[in-house]
């Protein structure tokens, strides 16, 4: 009976640790979007530089009928006068 309690306790600790690691991993994947958002906010705060102040990038999958394939294309929107280059 004592061994069963030890085994169940160990399984519970492993489950809690696994959920914690999974949540940390999920949260760290959101840093890419945060970096882009931060760059846009910083660019909007500055004025009068050569470049743009807002860059929005997203990928779109398009179908090429001549080759019967799909192609991933990065589309971007750039606006304003700021320190950023219009690159994704």
C-beta of residue 55 within 8 angstroms of C-beta of residue 76 = yes
- pTM value is 0.34
Quick one: how far is CA 11 from the chain centroid?
Answer: 33
CA 37, CA 6: separation in Å to the nearest integer?
48
Q: How far is CA 80 from CA 16, 45, 48, 70, in A?
A: 48, 11, 9, 33
Residue pLDDT tens, the chain, 88 long: 888 888 888 888 888 988 888 887 766 655 566 677 777 777 676 655 566 667 777 777 888 888 888 888 777 777 776 667 777 7
């Amino acid at each position: 009976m004592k061994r069963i309690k030890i085994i169940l306790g160990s399984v519970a600790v492993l489950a809690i640790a696994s959920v914690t690691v999974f949540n940390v991993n999920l949260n760290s994947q959101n840093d890419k979007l945060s970096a882009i958002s931060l760059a846009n906010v910083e660019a909007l705060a500055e004025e009068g530089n050569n470049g743009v102040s807002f860059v929005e990038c997203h990928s779109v999958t398009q179908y090429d009928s001549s080759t019967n394939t799909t192609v991933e294309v990065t589309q971007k929107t750039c606006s304003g006068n700021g320190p950023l280059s219009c690159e994704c």
